[in-house]
Amino acid sequence: MLNLVWPIFIIISFSYAILTGNLANLNTSIFESVESAVNLTITMLGTMCLWSGIINVAVNTNIMKLINKLLKPIIRFLFPEIKENRKAQDEISMNMIANILGLGNAATPLGLKAMETLQKENKNKKQLSNSMIMLIVLNTASIQLIPTTIIAIRTSLESENPTSIIFPVWVATICAGITGITVTKLLIKHANKKERL
Amino acid sequence: MIDFINFISNLAMPLIILIIVVYGFLEKKEVFDKFVEGAKDGIKIVINIFPTLIGLFLAVGVLRSSGVIDIAIKLIDPILNFVNFPSEIIPLAILRPISGSSSIAIATDIMKNFGVDSQIGIMAAVIMGATETTLYTIAVYSASVKIKKTRFALIAALTADIVGIIVSVAVCRFLS
């Protein structure tokens, strides 16, 4: 994807700047961009290490079991087709916990494991099952407790209050998540009806 | 009301850290050792995306300074004015579902240009926090089980994204 987008961005911008004689601006921005990437990375290094450390403490306590218990009824509601499949339920639960805690790197492998388990139960191996779509939609909904990356960006730009966006983010995520779940549920119903006809 | 919302936002991180540390302490775990061990993983994550960020910050930076973004915005401005959507946000709204690291670059660019604590800057931040790289996620998850027919996954996920973006803009307008 980026192999296509990146060169296009560069070609359009450089040609346009050269044609319009906007070279001074272009030159400044080349070095400024690289510098701000460095600044962001340094700030992010602090925030990410702090958060990864705290989460690693949590992973080693019983908090995980507690969240797992809280998630079970939600998972049963979202994935009615895998009521009997304990393994799939546990994997989905772990994937959701990783997402909530902002462990993007851990969430993906856990989610892919759940996909594999769901594929075993999938009646038509060539298309996504209802449960698989629900799992994907949950993963695209970005349900997370603390949006660490964005706080790091705001810190590196010297915001007066970098964490002030947390509550607005929650509101927006929850609305997006509920929409995703509702749309998926409705489309599943629609698909089931079609199948019966 | 706004004071209360700020209070919740500011409470979230300290409270979560406190709960986790108290939990670990009461369960007699080696809290500090575990913390240091986890912090090491944080370094890996950041170092891994650094080269990508350099490349994408450059692309977005020159896109802005050459004036290309301004032209693109001017072209779609009339439509957006009609639905009362801030056109400054559009480049982010378009890139966000496609690529995670390019949306970080474009969001940072918007925050820097319009001010990190300005309404537009806060909108960009909230959109980043509230949405995901939808297309990438669908592609990775489907490919992992070798499935090409994704049925309604894209429609459902993109509808959620659009609602997430609209709500982000609305919440920020309400707060300022």
Tell me the pLDDT tens digit for each residue of B57-99. Answer: 999 999 999 999 888 888 888 888 888 889 999 999 988 988 8
Coil, strand or helix at B149? strand
Query: Using CB atoms and an 8 Å cut-off, which of residues 125-154 of chain B contact chain A?
Result: 125-134, 136-138, 140-142, 144-145, 147-153
Q: Across the interface, do B137 and A167 touch by the CB < 8 Å criterion?
A: no
Q: How far is B86 from chain A (nearest CA, A)?
A: 17
DSSP secondary structure letter of residue B88: G
Q: How far is A92 from chain B (nearest CA, A)?
A: 13
- Of B155, B91, B151, give the one whose Cα is nearest residue A179: B155
Give A71-131 as a DSSP string: HHHHHHHH-GGGTT-HHHHHHHHHHHHHHHTT-HHHHHHHHHHHHHHHHHH-SSTTB--HH
Confidence at residue A1, expressed as pLDDT on a 0 to 100 scale: 67
Confidence at residue B72, expressed as pLDDT on a 0 to 100 scale: 86
Q: Give pLDDT tens digits for A34-83.
A: 999 999 999 889 988 998 899 899 989 998 888 889 999 999 999 999 98
Query: Using CB atoms and an 8 Å cut-off, which of residues 155-184 of chain A contact chain B?
Result: 157-161, 163-169, 171-173, 175-177, 179-180, 183-184
Q: Does A192 touch chain B (CB under 8 A)?
A: no
Cβ pair A67, A101 in contact under 8 A: no
Find residue B149's DSSP bridge partners. A127
Q: Across the interface, do B155 and A187 touch by the CB < 8 Å criterion?
A: yes
Q: Give pLDDT tens digits for A89-148.
A: 999 999 999 898 887 777 888 999 999 999 999 999 999 999 999 999 999 987 888 899
d(CA B137, CA B149): 15
Q: Does B18 touch chain A (CB under 8 A)?
A: no
Cβ pair A144, B164 in contact under 8 A: no
d(CA A137, CA A121): 19
Q: Does B88 touch chain A (CB under 8 A)?
A: no
Cβ pair A58, B19 in contact under 8 A: no
Q: How far is B4 from chain A (nearest CA, A)?
A: 10
Q: How far is B163 from chain A (nearest CA, A)?
A: 5
Query: What residues of chain B lie within 8 A of the CB of A163, using their CB?
Result: 9-10, 12-13
Query: What residues of chain A lie within 8 A of the CB of B167, using their CB?
Result: 171-172, 175-176
Query: What residues of chain B lie within 8 A of the CB of A8, using their CB?
Result: none
Query: What residues of chain B lie within 8 A of the CB of A147, using their CB?
Result: 128-129
Q: Does B51 touch chain A (CB under 8 A)?
A: no
- Of A162, A138, A168, A160, give the one whose Cα is nearest residue A150: A162
Q: What is the mean pLDDT of residues B95-120?
A: 93
Confidence at residue B98, expressed as pLDDT on a 0 to 100 scale: 86
d(CA A153, CA B124): 11
Q: Give pLDDT tens digits for B114-166.
A: 999 999 999 999 999 999 999 989 999 999 999 999 999 999 999 999 999 99
The sign of the dihedral angle between the CA atoms of A52, B104, A32, A12 is positive
Task: Output the six-digit token pair for A117.
Answer: 């388990």
Residue in chain A nearest B149 by alpha carbon: A127
Q: Cα angle at B97 between B91 and B102, to 5 degrees?
A: 60
d(CA B75, CA A141): 30
Q: Which residue bears the tokens 């919740």?
A: B8
Confidence at residue A122, expressed as pLDDT on a 0 to 100 scale: 94
- The whole-model pTM stands at 0.89
Q: Across the interface, do B58 and A34 touch by the CB < 8 Å criterion?
A: yes
d(CA A109, CA A95): 8
Q: How far is B81 from chain A (nearest CA, A)?
A: 22
A15-49 burial, b at 16+ Cβ within 10 Å, e below that, comes to ebbeeeebeebbeebeeebbebbeebbebbbebbb
Q: Across the interface, do A2 and B99 touch by the CB < 8 Å criterion?
A: yes
Task: Output the six-digit token pair for A188.
Answer: 């599943």
Q: How far is A73 from chain B (nearest CA, A)?
A: 22
Confidence at residue A65, expressed as pLDDT on a 0 to 100 scale: 87
**Percent of chain B clearing pLDDT 90 (strictly above):** 69
* More reliable by pLDDT, A114 or B2: A114
Average pLDDT, chain B: 92
Query: What residues of chain A lie within 8 A of the CB of B138, using their CB?
Result: 136, 140
Q: How far is B172 from chain A (nearest CA, A)?
A: 7
